[in-house]
């Protein structure tokens, strides 16, 4: 019975993911720029991880060198760097993800 309980706990913990979230783009004139003032519930999920440490490692790497798709979407490296600097790792059960 003890092993089964430990297994259930391990499965439950594994289901609780960490998300690398970035502020959403907003159309300003005909350009896309980052909406840094958007609430976390409106941010975009960039990637999903099994642990906080995995998420943080990727967040730090992306803050140094943003993915090319982000740079392309936002029209350049400067805006992508600013966006990735504000990126956050958020636990899947964070109540801010559900706030509107």
Residues 92, 40 contacting (CB under 8 angstroms)? no
Q: What are the residues whose beta carbons fall under 8 Å from the beta carbon of 12, sequence distance 6 or more?
A: none
Is the separation of the CB atoms in 49 and 55 below 8 Å?
A: yes
**Chain length of the chain:** 100
56-91 pLDDT, tens per residue? 999 999 999 999 888 888 888 999 999 999 999 999
pLDDT of residue 33: 81
Distances (CA, A) of 3 to 9, 10, 25, 69: 10, 10, 47, 45
Rg over alpha carbons for the chain, rounded to the nearest Å, is 16
- Indicate the domain borders of the chain: 17-92
* pTM of the model as a whole: 0.78
| DSSP alpha helix (H) spans, the chain | 2-15, 52-64, 68-74, 77-86
% of residues, the chain, pLDDT over 90: 59
Q: Using DSSP, state whether 81 is helix, strand or coil.
A: helix
């Amino acid at each position: 019975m003890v092993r089964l309980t430990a297994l259930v706990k391990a499965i439950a913990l594994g289901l609780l993911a960490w998300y690398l979230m970035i502020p959403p783009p907003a159309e300003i004139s005909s350009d896309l720029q980052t909406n840094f003032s958007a609430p976390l519930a409106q941010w975009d999920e960039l990637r999903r991880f099994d642990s906080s440490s995995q998420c943080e490692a990727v967040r730090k790497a992306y803050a140094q060198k943003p993915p090319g798709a982000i740079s392309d979407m936002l029209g350049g490296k400067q805006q992508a760097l600013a966006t990735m600097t504000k990126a956050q790792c958020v636990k899947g059960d964070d109540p801010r993800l559900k706030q509107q």
